[in-house]
Structure 1
Amino acid sequence: MVVSMADFKASLSGAAPAPNLEPPLAALWWAAKGDWDAAHKIVQDEDTREAAWVHGYLHRVEGDLGNAGYWYRQAGQPVAKDSLETEWDRIVSALIEGRRT
C-alpha cells in the first residue's frame, strides 16, 4: 500500500502500479512512466473530482489547454500555472493525504 510520496515514487521502478491504487493515483503513475494513453484511459470514465483533476493535468501535459481548463473546472481546481512536475507532485501529495483521512 502506498503511504507516502517516497513510496509512490519508489513504485515507479516497477512494471505496473500497485493493484490497490485508486484510479487517479494509478493514472498519475502511468503518466510518470510516460504512458499518457494508459493514464488517460483510467481517468476518462471516472466520475470523481480527483479523477477530473488528473484528467485536467493530463490534457495540460498533452498541450490541450482548452480541454484541460474544462477538467480543472470539473475538479473545482484552479488551472495550474506551475511546471508539470510540480503539479504532478502536488496532485499526488493531495491524493495520498486524502487516503489517510
Structure 2
Amino acid sequence: MNILDFIKTTEETTQPAGLTVHLAALWQDAKGDWQAAHSLIDQLTDTTSAWVHAYLHRKEGDNSNARYWYNRAGKPFPSISLQEEWTVIATALLAKR
C-alpha cells in the first residue's frame, strides 16, 4: 500500500486489515478519533511509537509533552503543518512494511 492508497482508506468506515499499530493510530487520527489513536500507542516505548505519540500530542496542542516524545523518537520538533507531518510519518511507516 502506498500513501495515496492509505489516505483513500480513511474515507472508509472500517479500518483496513493488517495495519501496524502505528498506522492504525494514524488511521484513527485521520478519522477524527484522537483518543483511539492515542490509546493504541500510549503504552508503547519504541521510537516509532514515540514519533506517532509526539505527533498526537502536538495535534492536541500539548507542545511540552510533544517535545518530550519527539526527543524520545530522536526527531526534531517539526515546523511543517500537522497534515504534512501526518503524511510524512505515514509515508515512512508504509515504506517499512
Which category describes the TM-score, using the shorter chain as reference length? Answer: over 0.9
Q: CA offset at residue 16 of structure 1?
A: 2.8
Q: CA offset at residue 81 of structure 1?
A: 1.3
Q: CA offset at residue 48 of structure 1?
A: 1.6
Residue 28 in structure 1 maps to residue 17 in structure 2: no
Offset from partner CA, 1:78-97 (integer Å, 9 cap, x none): 11111001100100011011
Q: CA offset at residue 59 of structure 1?
A: 0.2
* Equivalent residue for 2:39, pick from 38, 41, 45: 41
What percentage of aligned pairs have identical amino acids?
44
Query: Please, what TM-score do these two structures have when normalized by structure 1?
Result: 0.91
* Equivalent residue for 2:58, pick from 55, 60, 66: 60
- Which residue is 1:92 aligned to? 90
- Which residue is 2:69 aligned to? 71
CA distance in 1, matches of 2:45, 2:70: 13
CA distance in 2, matches of 1:87, 1:16: 23
CA distance in 1, matches of 2:37, 2:7: 16
Q: CA RMSD in A?
A: 0.9
Give the structure, 1 or 2, with the largest relative contact order (CA under 8 Å, sep 6 or more). 2
CA distance in 1, matches of 2:90, 2:27: 9
| Pairs aligned (count) | 97
Query: Please, what TM-score do these two structures have when normalized by structure 2?
Result: 0.95
5+ residue gaps in structure 2?
A: none
3-state SS of paired residue (1:20): coil
